[in-house]
Structure 1
């Protein structure tokens, strides 16, 4: 009998990717699982069926393999303590797609301000873990050595540490900022300033770096002095911008780096009777419903949060089944969302 991987997977109640790892002698499965896969293959080749109870990992007895999603925190209040719920939809995409591929979701929070990450590493290396997704929104470059102890296939979601050993799924932040600049220029707004969130997160750093590159590319000169630090929370931005706008000369337009900056800035402008877009044009990175922006339909750049979750799973499944030495960085595009906060000049 010609036995396929899917036949073994069904007989043992495990994923096809686990069977592939076992048959090809790859890491990521226990020796017990490997031996059962080989024995099951032989049983099917010789007899065509597997009697109930022959193997410990048959469906009625085995524990479903899981994908461990590790949400790293660094005190930035983006993962834990976030002011808006950005992650429920992302978690649902993870869970739905993992279940469709025969895995359960194992969620773990790891505070990377602590040097001892032995518990996190042990949980990731457990026998029932097939692979790991590092939720790296708050991951810092200096944190990356803490991942070295993880021996399972691994993908990093939402951060780009300068290492080549793992696949990474990212927002194309530069492309998102370019969409904003292009919209402003197309409507005659050439005096553009950039309101930033000072937290040292990869997404924020790459957006403001992209702003400077794009402004220079468009012939608008060195934009480093057009970047204004605001705050890392909605209320911090609100208080800072309320004082700043009392004396600052308004540019033609602001690009706002995050939802914190957008909400806090709009609150301050409403209190100071600054008219949007008559007095100043606004584009926010991350789309917000109008009930969070004082009733205005904010022109924005939609960030692909749930799409990144889907592609992170696809990358991990490929890494489990067919790991390659050369890893990839996959960028997901942002989308321009038209609103009513950009004035045509």
Structure 2
């Protein structure tokens, strides 16, 4: 007999679209969920389309509770399709930590169409979903109404709302920037340019804000050319940096906003024969793999991505089991990785 996708979706607490992706072997569904879908279909086929026990069986209900990770995707290539694989460890940590606590693990994406968004919100509000982690690296203020529509315990990963209404696990961007500036100053640098991407997300906004505040604290009113905006991709950053170098004098130091800027600018410096730390001192936020520039040991600020994922899952589990009313905001401290660029 033909199994209805809607029956499988209700059984597992996922959407019909997720069931369809799993059945047809399409991307967008993790392997654990895919196997659960296939096992559910086999169970239905074996029992002529009828589940052998009530759907609200307490034993089965406990076993099927799900933690759903909801990725906000604005196609900025920060989380989805990034130029370097930064997030595999984070998603693996979410998966591992959820299963360790006895939950199923689901993954969904919020894109920019209203129908898709509403479908995912409905999926999140299904009875068998115990809680939500919002992977909010690309979240914008216009996305906040989505959070209001989700009626489940929730933790924001990589973002915080101004009203503090939700539990959140963030990067201490202010400390990251301050650490960079302290190290540059200690190496004798005072004239520093902040190099950034054209992407406007929470973490980058906070880093730019911290840089401006640091200048103000030094009685230096920020000027337009103190923060130099480059491209969205590594090749574009390289090309725009080459053009900048051809028309501007070198400062004493550069602070790179993220790994894309680090890679793109170092490539441009190499093409122009500008060595660091001899001619300029540089430091970057977020690590780049050693294999990219094996001979150029950049001093970097490591951001604890996977560790924050584990903390987010622990916090969500506490809220689910203990029904906490207090909202908690955690800022993960960055770590300096010494190099040879200062």
Aligned to 1:242, what secondary structure does the other structure show?
Answer: helix
Gap regions ≥5 residues in structure 1: 1-52
1-side partners of 2:217 and 2:328: how far apart? 27
CA distance in 1, matches of 2:193, 2:239: 19
CA radius of gyration, larger in: 1
Q: In structure 2, the residue corresponding to 1:291 is in which secondary structure?
A: coil
SS of 1:58's equivalent? helix
Aligned to 1:58: 59
Q: Secondary structure at the match of 1:142?
A: helix
1:195–1:254 CA contact under 8 A, matched in 2: yes
The whole-number CA distance in structure 2 between the counterparts of 1:77 and 1:207 is 19
Report the aligned-residue RMSD. Answer: 1.8
- 1:63 touches 1:128 (CA, 8 Å); kept in 2? no
User: Structure 2 length normalisation: TM-score?
Assistant: 0.80
Matches within 5 A, 1:159-178: 159-178=159-178
> 2:113 — aligned with what?
114
Q: Which residue of 1 aligns with 2:302?
A: 302
Q: Which residue of 2 aligns with 1:236?
A: 236
* Map of 1:247 onto structure 2: 247
Q: Give 2:274's aligned residue.
A: 274
SS in 2 for 1:169: strand
How much has 1:119 moved relative to structure 2? Answer: 0.8
**Equivalences for 1:188-267 in 2 at 5 Å?**
188-222=188-222, 224-267=224-267
Query: Hey, what's the Cα distance between the residues in 2 that align with 1:88 and 1:75?
Result: 17
Alignment of 1:61-72 (within 5 A): 63-72=63-72
1:83-102 equivalences in 2 (<5 Å): 83-102=83-102
CA displacement 1:19-76 (0-9 Å, x = unmatched): xxxxxxxxxxxxxxxxxxxxxxxxxxxxxxxxxx8982326x8752110000110121
Q: What is the DSSP-based 3-state SS (H/G/I as helix, E as strand, rest coil) of the residue aligned with 2:72?
A: strand
Count the aligned residue pairs: 288
* Structure 2 unaligned spans of 5+: 1-52
Q: What is the alpha-carbon distance in structure 2 between the residues aligned to residue 290 and residue 95 of structure 1? A: 27
* Structure 1 counterpart of 2:180: 180
Offset at residue 257 of structure 1 (A): 0.2
TM-score of the two chains, using structure 1 as the length reference:
0.79
Distance 2:325 2:141 in 1: 21
The CA distance in 2 between the partners of 1:291 and 1:90, in whole Å, is 21
1:204-255 deviations in whole A, cap 9, x for unaligned? 0100100111232244443553100011110110110011111211011000
**Separation (CA, whole Å) in 1 of partners of 2:62 and 2:77:** 38
Q: Deviations over 1:252-307 (max 9, x none)?
A: 10000011101000111111111111111110111112322363111011011111
**2:304 and 2:218 mapped to 1: Cα distance?**
26
